[in-house]
Amino acid sequence: MGVNRRHFLKWGLGAAAAAAPKLLAQTATPKPDPKAAAAESAGCLVDTTLCIGCRKCEEACNRRNKLPRPEVPFTDAAVFREERRPNDKAFTVVNEYAGSPSPDQSATKQTHVKVQCLHCLTPSCVSACIVGAMVKAKDGAVVYNPKVCLGCRYCMVACPFQIPAYEYDVILKPRVRKCEFCADFAKGTGADPACAASCPTEALVFGTRSTLLTLAKNRISQRPDRYLDHIYGENEVGGTSWLYLTGRPIAEVGLLDVPTYIPAHKTESIQHGIFRYGIIPLTVYGALGGLMWYNQRRAQKGQPPDGPGSETTKGGSHEHE
């Protein structure tokens, strides 16, 4: 269905009315301790000192999520020449960094680091999404609902790990794409996100967050020569469901240096300040509606869309029924 301005504003006002109670409810809800709440939710430990860079995890993720085959085959190590980030066609990537993965220089020569959504305990992407298209599920996964997504890409801007990607080359109904933690949570702690199930070296361990933290601390105390005394994700951005062990400083192996405070709380306080005055939601949705209408016009003229995250824009629009 084509999107015209009237349809758009009508839809935008309807969305504003539907979303306002959720946003006002957020204002009134006291914040629980996310770490305590997440202790028994699912997580994954990435031990970069055990990763051999085989990219089996990438291949398994690609298959599980029915993503297109990559330009560089999964068996081709030439892919490591450039540092990569996850994108709309690869929800996880493995990068290679020169230098021993452990402080004692005893292991292999390179460090390999798998990157994907870390499933933050208090996700900025969820906080930034004004229509609730991003949701933190009780099991620990941060999942996405394309049916309510506006296409505003605020989640992409908000993510401190630069994870969500947009289907810029999809003309009809482009989605935000990222790892949605495809574990079969009904099986408890069975090794079943596809990536962890395929890992031949146990560099990826699936389990509850509390179990993984205990495991990581044990590994550090038993092999202080091998590991830095830092579990990346234990405290970063208030804690994440995916955790990392490294033998080298995080800055050397591509893990982003993020704060330990929860960025989402800052986003929320701005959002709550805005919504305190009631009439502003319509202004926000009106602005978003205008942006989408404008981008639709640009797409029709063959021009790239404008707005958040548009610097890499190739074209496209977002339609709603």
x/- site string to ligand SF4, residues 193 to 232, per CB under 6 A?
xxx--xx-x-xx----------------------------
Selected from 12, 56, 245, 284, the binder of ligand SF4 by CB under 6 A is 56
In the numeric block, which tokens belong to residue 204?
């990826």
User: Based on CB atoms, which residue is closest to ligand SF4, 24 or 52?
Assistant: 52
User: Based on CB atoms, which residue is closest to ligand SF4, 198 or 296?
Assistant: 198
Q: Which residues contact 64 (CB under 8 A, 6 or more apart)?
A: 182, 194
User: Based on CB atoms, which residue is closest to ligand SF4, 199 or 253?
Assistant: 199
Q: Which residues contact 262 (CB under 8 A, 6 or more apart)?
A: 34, 122, 237, 238
User: How far apart (Å, rounded) are the C-alpha atoms in residues 56 and 258?
Assistant: 28
User: Based on CB atoms, which residue is closest to ligand SF4, 238 or 289?
Assistant: 238
Selected from 23, 38, 45, 53, the binder of ligand SF4 by CB under 6 A is 53
Confirm if 165 and 177 have CB atoms less than 8 A apart. Answer: yes
How many C-beta atoms surround the C-beta of residue 144 within 10 A?
Answer: 21
User: Based on CB atoms, which residue is closest to ligand SF4, 174 or 289?
Assistant: 174
User: How far apart (Å, rounded) are the C-alpha atoms in residues 166 and 189?
Assistant: 31
Name 110's bridge partners.
98
Selected from 182, 191, 216, 292, the binder of ligand SF4 by CB under 6 A is 182
How many C-beta atoms surround the C-beta of residue 230 within 10 A?
Answer: 17
Q: Scanning residues 33 to 52, which ones bind ligand SF4 (CB under 6 A)?
A: 51-52
Q: Scanning residues 90 to 149, which ones bind ligand SF4 (CB under 6 A)?
A: 91-92, 94, 112, 114, 116-120, 123-125, 142
User: Based on CB atoms, which residue is closest to ligand SF4, 49 or 296?
Assistant: 49
Selected from 164, 207, 247, 309, the binder of ligand SF4 by CB under 6 A is 164
- Asked if 178 touches ligand SF4 (CB under 6 A), the answer is yes
As measured in angstroms, the least distance from the Cβ of 151 to ligand SF4 is 16
Closest among 17, 9, 1, 18 to 293, alpha carbons compared: 9
Selected from 54, 150, 212, 250, the binder of ligand SF4 by CB under 6 A is 54
Confirm if 57 and 92 have CB atoms less than 8 A apart. Answer: yes
Cα 208–Cα 210–Cα 178 angle in degrees, nearest 5 = 50
Question: Is beta strand 165-166 parallel, antiparallel or unpaired with respect to 176-177?
Answer: antiparallel
Stretch that binds ligand SF4, among 23-31, 66-74, 89-97, 297-305 (CB under 6 A): 89-97
User: How far apart (Å, rounded) are the C-alpha atoms in residues 149 and 176?
Assistant: 8
Q: Which residues contact 74 (CB under 8 A, 6 or more apart)?
A: 55, 56, 58, 59, 62
Please tell me what DSSP assigns to residue 87: B
User: Based on CB atoms, which residue is closest to ligand SF4, 61 or 291?
Assistant: 61
> Which residues of this protein are in contact with ligand SF4, per CB under 6 A?
51-57, 60-61, 64-65, 91-92, 94, 112, 114, 116-120, 123-125, 142, 159, 161, 163-164, 178-182, 193-195, 198-199, 201, 203-204
